[in-house]
A and B are shown apart, each in its own frame.
Chain A
Amino acid sequence: MADVKLTNVKKIYSNNVEVLKDINLDIKQGEFIVFVGPSGCGKSTLLRMISGLEDISAGTLEIDGVVVNDVPPALRGIAMVFQSYALYPHMTVYDNMAFSLQIAKVSKADIDQQVRKAADMLQLTPYLDRLPKALSGGQRQRVAIGRAIVRRPKVFLFDEPLSNLDAALRVATRMEIANLKDSMPDSTMIYVTHDQVEAMTLADRIVLLSGGDIEQVGSPLDLYEHPANVFVAKFIGSPAMNIVPCRIEQTGAQTLVSLSASASIQTPIVTESSEQAKPAFFGIRPEDLVVVSAEQESLFSGEVSFVESLGEATLLYVKIPGADDMVIAKQAGTLNIKRGDKVYLSAPAEKMHLFDEHEQSYLRKG
């Protein structure tokens, strides 16, 4: 089975820079895994190590139960779709797709059959005789995918395949990739992106990396609803989660925290008594905040610094006394609130997040 297993994998460059620290990951056959993270987090390096284009400094990589650290890329049973598509500009679409099979000395008839099948699947048949430069961006992307398909790999690797496309095409191609996955349920796919929307929409499981470490592995909704730390909380979701420094006043089943200003908040989060009086971070997503009237119970109140009307929603940037960063509240539709107005914000208790002084999440009850 085409499982991919990484055990204590490290990447250290010759100048002793450690770009991947200690990666352990189990990818099951048929999974669609997305590596996501800010640029420089090591996600592309990790993918390239799986592909065999980068050496593995330490640890083992198994594909299908075989350690493949020293196996050349072509024999690992993988295929890769590059960010720039990497089509061979001097070869026709047909030859581009046939290249790997020709290198592997597959018979002409077999090559022809495979290429035509893949072209058919990707609606590329009319373009087989064209050169890449005569194709549109989306078509080139499909050729790159087709080139991967004809190799019948156990594992597909995608390195930011959509980032060179314009916004509209990106959505369309994203759906095509999702369809591709559905039509090949047995193939494992590993997909690298810096775009959280791609990660959320495509992934069975997301691997969120930062600074050479895995921050969290889980399903998209898991990461959204139960971020393991402040980094994940801020990375997933847009606008990012509001994080406000606070102090733990009372531990137990219902932790009471106080913001630096007078306000204190009762959260349904369990903390040990040892956490008493420690600094912490209170988190709430902008879309979970609601504007309430002055009389109602609220979490924060403050003066509106900016109003961004997006049409389908309105973003309020609220200056809270005692907090350095402004709190953002996302409200559906348009609101009759102006800059300088005082607003009161509230949120349902079950949407609250609390992180300890090391920015790790406290477990939420229930």
Chain B
Amino acid sequence: MGQLASALVTMILGVMGCAAYFYGSNFLLDKIFPTKSGAAADVARNLRVANNIRPWLFLGPAVLLLTFYLFYPVIDSIRLSFYGRSGEDFVGLANYKWLFSSDEFYESFRNNMLWLIVVPTAATFFGLIIATMTDRIWWGNIAKSLIFMPMAISFVGASVIWKFIYDFRTGGEDQIGLLNALVVFFGGEPQTWLTIPIWNNFFLMVILIWIQTGFAMVILSAALRGIPDETIEAAVLDGANGFQIFYKIMVPQIWGTIAVVWTTITILVLKVFDIVLAMTNAQWGTQVLANQMFSWMFNGGGDFGRGAVIALVIMVLVIPIMVWNIRRANAEMEGR
């Protein structure tokens, strides 16, 4: 109970502090530069000053936080990648040389590429299929809700769920893992799935696909519903069958949305680390970049230089998507 109380107090203090800043700073601004009464000339001047200051009162905390938590670290990571394990002695390109001669890096890079190809493709594909089909049946919303559900589950929680499915029992014991039970049921030999090289990566990817399909489905379903009915009706009159309508009429119209879904999942895949850490701890050839970075950061006291280099690799992979996003946002702003 004591813990609960102190937790409550910290929570309230934290939130109140934040609210107090906004109220306080704006109150002060209105007091120093009153704009609601007084001589017209004064008001005009005060208003101009206040209008120049107020955006920064509103933006201040956000800009500070973004700078401290995202912008500065990116810069500092670049710097650290040229420094040694403690981040104090300059080592030039040594970390990069190490990286490109390390087998582990190639393993994780290869695995990451596999993840990047398989997960976004599979999740988008399933999402699109399910979105199309659920839009046509009366219990579609319930189905969607259930397929969307894994989205709420943490990667660690999902790992437990799936580890249970991949569970393996030796000898003649009954298999309590669903997958092995099925294999046995169909007369096969039970396997320790998570230790089979290369394939184990796919067993891990299944988890992320399971989680992300719902996301793809929800967004694509909205896009599909945004397609004007007239275009579909016109295609029906033109004699197209169901599949032709899907591939030639519907998919091209939501191409932009598919790209957005794809890139969103791609970014998520690049950052994924919880699943690998929890499922295999990167053993049996399942290492990925994000997890490798994490282990260099902490294991054996940590090596900040090498960790930073790996982080930079992830960043470089993300940059094309970032540029594309910014372009899109700019085009959209001009449209307004």
Q: Check whether chain A touches chain B (CB < 8 angstroms).
A: yes
Give complex CA distance A105, B40 in Å: 18
A333 at the interface (CB under 8 A from B): no
- Max chain B C-beta neighbours (<10 A), residue from A68, A71, A103: A71
Give the nearest-CB partner of A74 in chain B.
B36
Give the nearest-CB partner of A68 in chain B.
B40
Chain A residues positioned under 8 Å from B44 (CB to CB): 70-72
A interface residue count range (under 10 / 10 to 19 / 20 to 34 / 35 or more): 10 to 19
| Interchain CB contact (< 8 A) of B43 among A75, A103, A104 | A75
Chain B residues positioned under 8 Å from A75 (CB to CB): 40, 43
B48 at the interface (CB under 8 A from A): yes
Q: Measured between C-beta atoms, what is the minimum distance from B176 to chain A in Å?
A: 55
Q: Measured between C-beta atoms, what is the minimum distance from A160 to chain B in Å?
A: 21
For B29-43 the 0/1 string (1 means CB < 8 A from A) is: 000000110001001
Please state if B40 and A71 are interface contacts (CB–CB under 8 Å): yes
Give the nearest-CB partner of B45 in chain A.
A70
| Interchain CB contact (< 8 A) of B35 among A66, A68, A72 | A72
How many residues of B are in contact with the other chain, CB < 8 A?
Answer: 7
Chain A residues positioned under 8 Å from B47 (CB to CB): 70, 72
Please state if A71 and B43 are interface contacts (CB–CB under 8 Å): yes
Please state if B40 and A104 are interface contacts (CB–CB under 8 Å): no
Give complex CA distance A114, B33 in Å: 29
Give complex CA distance A74, B40 in Å: 11
Give the nearest-CB partner of A104 in chain B.
B36
Give complex CA distance A71, B44 in Å: 5
Give the nearest-CB partner of B48 in chain A.
A70
- Max chain A C-beta neighbours (<10 A), residue from B35, B40, B47: B40
Give complex CA distance A104, B35 in Å: 11
Instruction: List A residues at the B interface (Cβ < 8 Å).
Output: 66, 68, 70-72, 74-75, 103-105
Q: Lowest 5 CB-CB distances: which A-B pairs, in order?
A: A70-B44, A72-B47, A71-B40, A71-B44, A75-B43
A-B contact pairs, 11 of them (CB 8 A): A66-B40, A70-B44, A70-B47, A71-B40, A71-B43, A71-B44, A72-B35, A72-B47, A74-B36, A75-B40, A105-B36
Given A70-B44, A74-B36, A75-B40, 13 other A-B contacts at CB below 8 A? Answer: A68-B40, A70-B47, A70-B48, A71-B40, A71-B43, A71-B44, A72-B35, A72-B43, A72-B47, A75-B43, A103-B36, A104-B36, A105-B36
